[in-house]
Amino acid sequence: MDELKTKIIERIKANFQDATENNSFNYNRLDFNVNKTTVPSILFYLKDEMGFKHLSHITCVDWLEEGELELIFIVWSPVDKIKVFVRTRLDRENPVMDNIDMIWRQAHTYEREFREMFGIQFTGLEAPQDFLLEDWDGPPPMRRDFHTEEYASETFFERPGREDAGDVREEIIKRSGEEIPDFAKKYSR
């Protein structure tokens, strides 16, 4: 496994100068940090030249303190049984990324979701605006500065309930006339 990893690192670094590797994982995982302009070409190279046929996942991490969004592409090689993480950072205020759904068709769905949930604009993505959120006019809801609880309490009705966590057994018995057996009483608070 280790020779394989070093071989992959050598080939990637020979072709992409800005790629920095992170080989600190002791199982079949390998990380590369790249610039966002390199992402399509490195994904093309991984798919076509090195046998990473399968796009496992695309995910996004919101680094609120650093003012950046991180996109992570996870690709998997069914021959070598190794997965490669391609990480890239985007500016949080104006996140723009190249469209990669010509490499893997399924990336289209991920990109629509990121556009909606994180506000990342993919240049050249041809898709209707609404995906999961219909008629949404708030900020992108998956960003960390979006307060979901505040938004929910503003937008939706709430049913007033009791604040304490007291024992309501007596009240239930009084209302329903239901008998509670002795063995169950010790479980009630």
Q: Are 55 and 112 in contact (CB under 8 A)?
A: no
Please identify, using beta-carbon distances, which residue of 105 and 162 lies nearer to another protein.
162
Please identify, using beta-carbon distances, which residue of 3 and 134 lies nearer to another protein.
134
CB of residue 113 to another protein, shortest distance in Å: 14
3-state secondary structure of 168: coil
Please identify, using beta-carbon distances, which residue of 157 and 183 lies nearer to another protein.
157
Q: How far is CA 167 from CA 103, 173, 185, 188, 189, in A?
A: 59, 12, 11, 7, 5
- Give residues 130-159 in contact with another protein (rule: CB under 8 A): 132-135, 137-138, 141, 146, 148-149, 151-152, 155-159
CB of residue 153 to another protein, shortest distance in Å: 8
CB of residue 116 to another protein, shortest distance in Å: 11
* 49: Cβ contacts below 8 Å, ≥ 6 apart: 11
